[in-house]
Amino acid sequence: MSVDFLDTNVFVYLFDEADAAKHAVARTLVADALSNGTGAISFQVVQEALNVLTRKLEVIARAADAEDFMQHTLQPLWRVQPSPSLYAAAMRIQQRQEFGFYDSLIVAAALESGCTRLLSEDLQHGQRIGKLRIENPFRT
């Protein structure tokens, strides 16, 4: 079974309903990842998603709602923790691909978790890095 790495923007669109199409795509991606066990995220995605949820949205989440989201949505998908080898891999990716460090860390986490697809609107759609293919699920 193939596992997809979900970048933070997928989770942000769960709460940002300004773009109905992106919101619908995000809901489907997360629901499928949870029900089929086909999604993976890293500590970085957890941190960024919770920061957006509790600080950056027009209507910020209450602490109890953010904790519920972490326990029932983020935690079941959380597969990658920080480690010296993850940071070293990110720095090598940054050097080779000329990505920013945090994008490189996302790519390194996707590779470490064995994913074949990284779903993100922040990187170049169709780009391949090793066995990983970057796809923008919100692309029309």
List pLDDT tens digits, range 76-133. Answer: 999 999 999 999 999 999 999 999 999 999 999 999 999 999 999 999 999 999 999 9
Question: How far is residue 75's CA from residue 102's CA, in Å, rounded to a whole number?
Answer: 20
* Beta strands at 117-119 and 4-6: parallel, antiparallel or unpaired: parallel
List pLDDT tens digits, range 2-39. Answer: 899 999 999 999 988 889 999 999 999 999 999 999 99
SS3 string, 59-115, reads CCCCHHHHHHHHHHHHHHHEEECCCHHHHHHHHHHHHHHCCCHHHHHHHHHHHHCCC
Question: How far is residue 51's CA from residue 89's CA, in Å, rounded to a whole number?
Answer: 25
Cβ atoms of residues 27 and 18 within 8 Å: no
Q: For residue 11, give every residue at least 6 positions away whose Cβ sits within 8 Å of its Cβ, in sequence order, or none.
A: 26, 30, 45, 49, 52, 53, 73, 74
Question: How far is residue 120's CA from residue 77's CA, in Å, rounded to a whole number?
Answer: 16
List pLDDT tens digits, range 49-72. Answer: 999 999 988 888 899 999 999 999
List pLDDT tens digits, range 67-83. Answer: 999 999 999 999 999 99
What percent of the chain shows pLDDT beyond 70?
99
The amino acid at residue 7 is D
In this prediction the pTM is 0.95
Task: Please give the backbone phi and psi of residue 113, each rounded to the nearest 5 degrees, phi first.
Answer: -80, 0
